[in-house]
Amino acid sequence: MEAFRADFAKKFTMAFLTGDRWKLYLKGMATTLELTACALIIGVVLGVLVAVVRSAHDQQRPGRRNPVLGVVNFVCKIYTTVIRGTPMLVQLLIWGMVIFKSTRNRFFVGMLGLGINSGAYVAEIVRGGLMSVDAGQSEAGRSLGLDYIDTMRYIVIPQAFKNILPSLGNEFIVLFKDTSLVSSIGAAEILYYAEAIGGKTYEFMFPLYGTALMYLIFCIVLTWLQGKLERRLRQSDRR
Partner 1 sequence: MIDVKNLSKSFENQLVLDNICEHISPGEKVVIIGPSGSGKSTFLRCLNLLETPTAGTITFEGAVITDPKVKIDQVRQQMGMVFQHFNLFPNMTIRKNITLAPVRTGLMRQEEADGLALSLLKRVDLVDKAEAYPSQLSGGQKQRIAIVRALAMKPKVMLFDEPTSALDPEMVGEVLDVMRELAQEGMTMVVVTHEMGFAREVGSRVLFMDGGHILEQNTPQEFFDHPQHPRTQLFLSKVL
* Binding-site ranges for partner 1 (CB under 8 A): 61-64, 134, 136-137, 139-147, 150, 154-155, 158-159, 162, 237-239
Q: Which is nearer to partner 1, 5 or 61 (CB)?
A: 61
Taking a C-beta distance cutoff of 8 angstroms, is the pair 74, 167 a contact?
no
Distance of CA 27 to the CA centre of its chain: 20
Q: Measured between alpha carbons, how far is 43 from 46 in angstroms, rounded to an integer? A: 5
The least distance separating partner 1 from the CB of residue 146, rounded to whole angstroms, comes to 6
Q: Which is nearer to partner 1, 28 or 141 (CB)?
A: 141
Helices marked H in 59-134 — which ranges? Answer: 67-84, 88-93, 106-132
Q: Which is nearer to partner 1, 156 or 190 (CB)?
A: 156
Q: Measured between alpha carbons, how far is 129 from 123 in angstroms, rounded to an integer? A: 10
Q: Which is nearer to partner 1, 85 or 136 (CB)?
A: 136
The least distance separating partner 1 from the CB of residue 69, rounded to whole angstroms, comes to 15
Q: Measured between alpha carbons, how far is 111 from 134 in angstroms, rounded to an integer? A: 36
DSSP state of 101: T
The least distance separating partner 1 from the CB of residue 144, rounded to whole angstroms, comes to 4
The least distance separating partner 1 from the CB of residue 207, rounded to whole angstroms, comes to 48
What is the gyration radius of the CA atoms in the chain, in angstroms? 23
Q: Which is nearer to partner 1, 41 or 229 (CB)?
A: 229
The least distance separating partner 1 from the CB of residue 140, rounded to whole angstroms, comes to 4
